[in-house]
Structure 1
Amino acid sequence: MRKGLHHIALGFSISFIFLSFGLVYWQVVRSNDLQENPANRRLILMEQRVVRGGIFDRNGEILAQTQTTNNQRKRIYPKGEALEPLMGYATLQHGSAGMEATFGDWLFGIKNATPAQELEQLFQLPRKGNDVVLTLDYRLQKIAYDGLKDKRGAAVALDPRTGEVLALVSYPGFDPNTLDQDWSELSKKAGSPFVNHAFALYPPGSAMKVITSAAILRSGVNTGDLYNCTGSTVINGQVIPEQNDKAHGWVNFDTALADSCNTYFATFGVRSGDQQFLNAVKGFGFGQTIPFELSVSSSRITNKAAVPKQLSTNLLAASSFGQGEVLVSPFHMALVAAGIANHGVIMAPHIVDRVIDDKQSVLYKTDSKPWLTALSSEEADKIKSAMIAAVNDGTASPGGIEGIQVAAKTGSAEPGGNAKTHAWYIAFAPAESPKIAVAVLVENGGTGGAAAAPIAREMIQTALSQKVGESK
């Protein structure tokens, strides 16, 4: 009898310990995850008690705001579709998503709350949350949105010096002001308007060649040596064709990148070896979680492993010019361009500039910091030189701007089947002292020069003429 009671007491003790660990885990370790989860009923109830703070662009433009009329609150989005699905939504009926969900703890005033906010929260008093000021410039966002209109794709602009996100557009989007009534229709709409295409994964095509360049440069290849492109080549029994079977003739590294010569990069990518290539992609962040406020899919080289320990010759050849199983997001390709622009250093991207309370006191300010050193300064300069040649006398020329030297690379990526190629364009400018880096993807748009370059050109021109990204 006594032994049985002892076992029961021991069982209760163990259960209590596990329960205590569970409470500590969820209420302390994972408390932020619970608070930020849009399915958290507590957040929905807080919408009724707390006036959610506003979201503003870097120039003070209102992007999201709560209006109160006759004691009725309504979340309004003055800029409509141009910021969706990035901005997301916050409704009692459908919860929250996008930045509205991710920054919910700031907007409710429950993250790093001031003593006054803690007191109001303790006594369940009506109160106002904090305002979030973004690094986005709505002028640039609108230019990118208008350029992508009626196309599917994404456009991203960064300040390569700081990692500030200046524009982040995904098309198609939706009007968050009429979300509740449009929900059923939007859920079935072609093009997935709720999906942020800037964070989704696509084959990069020839835009990948700027990364392969790092492996080629490190393998000791003389970039001045000539290679004869005849329109196709065979590597380990695999035919590597040029686009439209075009023969580029004798090319060196610069002209191969400028003319987007597949056979050059496949040949010298294989000659460099899989370890040089895999080290190069790791240096640019493949297989890693991008340190950003919002979740971005990790880029990958193969379906089985994001960055495998080795690659077969055939897969290495295809990966070298952005085909095979390579997948990357437009957001990540903007970081790649920014890293080349910034002498090989990729700055950690961020979209929040600061958080302020209702008295305009700064509660939080984002500091710029490096994420990765993808290239040496010398390597970055060599790749930049080839990207300049691509604009001045190559496939990237449609993105050129009179009076401004742009450095760029096009891509036409085969998605599989009979679908048209995805059109890519990555660029930065002014090449001698870059202030903006961009990546544009047009799904099934054809060639990067025709479909994506004009959008990138307008973004760069707008950013430099209106001094987007300059100190505020």
Structure 2
Amino acid sequence: MRGVRRVALGMAFSFFILSLGLVYWQVVQADTLLENPANRRLILMESRVTRGGIFDRNGEIIAQTQTSQGKKVRVYPKGELFEPALGYSTVKLGASGLEGSLADWLLGIKKATPTQTIQQLFALPRQGDDVVLTLDSRLQSIAYNALKGKMGAVVAIDPRTGEILALVSQPSFDPTNLDQNWNTVISRKQDRPLENHAFSLFPPGSIMKVVTSAAVLRSGINTTDLYDCKGSTVINGQVIPEQNDKAHGWVNYNMALADSCNTYFATFGVKAGDNNFLSAAKGFGFGQKIPFELNVPMSSITNAAKIPAKLTTNLLAASTFGQGEVLVSPFHMALITAGIANHGVIMTPHLVERVLDPSQTVLYEQNPQPWLTALSKEEADKITSAMVTAVTDGTAAPGALADVQVAAKTGSAEPGGNVSTHAWYIAFAPAEAPRIAVAVIVEHGGTGGGAAAPIARQIMQEALSQKEGGK
């Protein structure tokens, strides 16, 4: 009898725990589950919900649901221009990219209007919300065409607000009729069209010197002092070479950044110490999750830890000019560039400008917010001055614009192995009152000045030709 009682009590307790779990998942966590892009219920809801449209900042249609022969069809008028960031939404494949992360708005779930709530409660047909992005189709198109046929990424930001103006990854794919073309897309393993190269991690090479600059400036080192670059140097038994073993001669900080002098930054980066270097890197967001509508992997200083407590002298020396184990995404480098442009303050990046309900009433509007204060204004001004010198009298000259002062830095990063270097270019303009910051990478493209700078120049030129604040 006692055994039967124990079994009964055990079953009762099990049912109690099960009931608690059901209440937790179906009541407490109901909205979280429903808003998760992996939840196929979101896709199945679209049989009675017309997914809202996605538009660029000028009102151009990026994604829209149309009815064809009584069947809802997701239409992408721009083809592969906004992929893979835009993503896709199909019953068969689910949702990815912005189509997935913004599904709660697009299906009218988040901050549902009273009408949408009633329609959802009674499973009635309804219209989702429209999302207006910060992206500019004109800048997106220029970046896309400039990168076409190459592997790489372009990110353009308004440094004053954190608005993402262009987010291009190449190669990309056409989301139209994706159910039928899926096998073709996933078979392209060599160029990885589903991977967002703007979020992939790469060694930054010499563009890392803008981060190292903060460490040098904070260490009390006199940046006007001259240093004799002889083409290479030895630090703790490790040979630090210049690109092509070029001797830059006597350089101060400004000329060292302009000429991209590895030995200067390794020498004074080590002198500044690993505490200053790691503090500067952390201040720029290394080892931190970037708040954004899409997932961006953390940038890191070492393989063992994103931001280690200490660095060996040899690893510190290599890290100062973006080699060693340093990894960063083009998206993050655009934020770092924007932070320098914005007097040291990195604004929280965002893609959603506003959300409109079916009657076009504004449900949500982005309010620009700071993310990190990476530099003091004085530090930002000194780095900007050196980046201007890089354009007027250094390696970044190919990104120069007529009648507009550009601040920029080149990078040629060695990915390891017997392959060409990644070509980097970061820039902002106008240098004295920046309105756009850009990061460009051309994978295995060679030099930053040769492969990446012309792309950045085209984007800045188009952005600055538009009226201030115009859409």
The aligned length equals 470
Question: What's the offset of the Cα at 1:73?
Answer: 1.1
**1:325 and 1:352 mapped to 2: Cα distance?**
33
Superposition pairs for residues 418-429 of structure 1, below 5 Å?
Answer: 418-429=418-429
Q: Write out per-residue CA displacement over residues 195-242 of structure 1, whole angstroms, 9 at most, x where no aligned residue.
A: 000011000000000000000000001010011110111111111100
Which residue matches 1:462? 462
- 1:28 deviation in Å? 5.2
Deviations, residues 132-185 of structure 1 (Å, cap 9, x unaligned)? 000111111001101101010000000000000001000000111132222112
**Distance in 2 separating the partners of 1:229 and 1:170:** 37
Where does residue 67 of structure 1 map in the other structure? 66
Q: 1:208 to 1:28 in 2, by over 3 A?
A: farther
Report the AA paired with residue 40 of structure 2.
R
Distance 2:103 2:246 in 1: 53
Matched, 1:163 2:169: no
TM-score, normalisation: structure 2: 0.97
Partner Cα separation in structure 2 for residue 471 and residue 176 of structure 1: 30
Provide the C-alpha distance between the structure 1 equivalents of 2:9 and 2:415, rounded to a whole number of angstroms. 60
Amino acid at match of 1:389: T
State how far apart, in whole Å, the 1-side matches of 2:264 and 2:16 are: 63
Separation (CA, whole Å) in 2 of partners of 1:214 and 1:29: 46
User: Cα offset for 1:366?
Assistant: 1.2
Give 1:353-432 correspondences, 5 Å limit.
353-432=353-432
**The residue matched to 1:304 in structure 2 has which SS?**
coil
Residues 28 and 400 (structure 1), Cα distance of their counterparts in 2 relative to 1, 3 Å cut: farther
Counterpart position of 2:57: 58
Cα deviation digits, residues 399-454 of structure 1 (max 9, x gap)? 00010000000000000001100000001000000000010010000000000000
TM-superposed CA distance for 1:23, in Å, is 3.3
> Deviations 1:93-125 (Å, cap 9, x if unpaired)?
211111000101110001111111010001110
Alignment partners' CA distance in 1, 2:127 and 2:83: 25
Counterpart residue number, 2:444: 444
- Partner of 2:18, secondary structure, is helix
Structure 1 pair 316–66 and aligned structure 2 pair: CA distance change class (3 A): same
Change (3 A) 1:367 1:27: farther
- Between the aligned partners of 2:459 and 2:104, the Cα distance in structure 1 is 32
Q: Residues 205, 21 of structure 1: CA spacing in aligned structure 2 closer, same or farther, 3 A cutoff?
A: farther
**Residue 217 of structure 2 aligns with which residue?**
217
Residue type of the alignment partner of 2:260: S
Q: How far apart, in 1, do the equivalents of 2:16 and 2:258 lie?
A: 65
TM-aligned CA deviation for residue 365 of structure 1: 1.0
**SS of the residue 1:83 aligns to:** coil
C-alpha distance in 1 between matches for 2:163 and 2:434: 13
Q: Distance in 1 between matches of 2:221 and 2:11?
A: 70
Structure 1 unpaired stretches of 5+: none
Amino acid of the structure 1 residue aligned with 2:246: K
Cα distance in structure 2, aligned partners of 1:80 and 1:128: 24
Residues 250-270 of structure 1, C-alpha deviation per residue, up to 9 Å, x if partnerless? 111000000000000011111
Partner of residue 280, structure 2: 280
List runs of 5+ in structure 2 lacking aligned partners.
none
Residue 16 of structure 1, CA deviation: 4.1
How far has the Cα of 1:7 moved from its partner? 3.7
- Residues 318 and 30 of structure 1, relative CA distance in 2, 3 Å threshold: farther
The equivalent of 1:138 in structure 2 is 137
Q: Which residue of 1 aligns with 2:47?
A: 48
Q: Which residue number in structure 1 is paired with residue 152 of structure 2? A: 153
Q: Supply the distance in 1 between the matched residues of 2:372 and 2:266 (Cα, whole angstroms).
A: 26
Whether 1:175 aligns to 2:174 is: yes
Identity of aligned residues (%): 70
Tell me the equivalent position of 1:184. 183
Moved more, 143-152 or 185-194: 185-194
Query: Does residue 103 of the first structure (1) align with residue 90 of the second (2)?
Result: no
Distance in 1, matches of 2:182 and 2:251, equals 53
Which amino acid is the alignment partner of residue 112 of structure 1? Answer: K
CA distance in 2, matches of 1:375, 1:411: 21
Is structure 2 residue 358 aligned with structure 1 residue 338?
no
Counterpart CA distance in 1 for 2:217 and 2:27 is 49
* SS of structure 1 residue aligned to 2:445: coil
Shift of 1:48: 1.4
Residue 288 of structure 1: SS of its match in structure 2? Answer: coil
Matched residues in 1 for 2:248 and 2:35: separation?
53
Q: How far has the Cα of 1:47 moved from its partner?
A: 1.9
Distance 2:224 2:23 in 1: 62
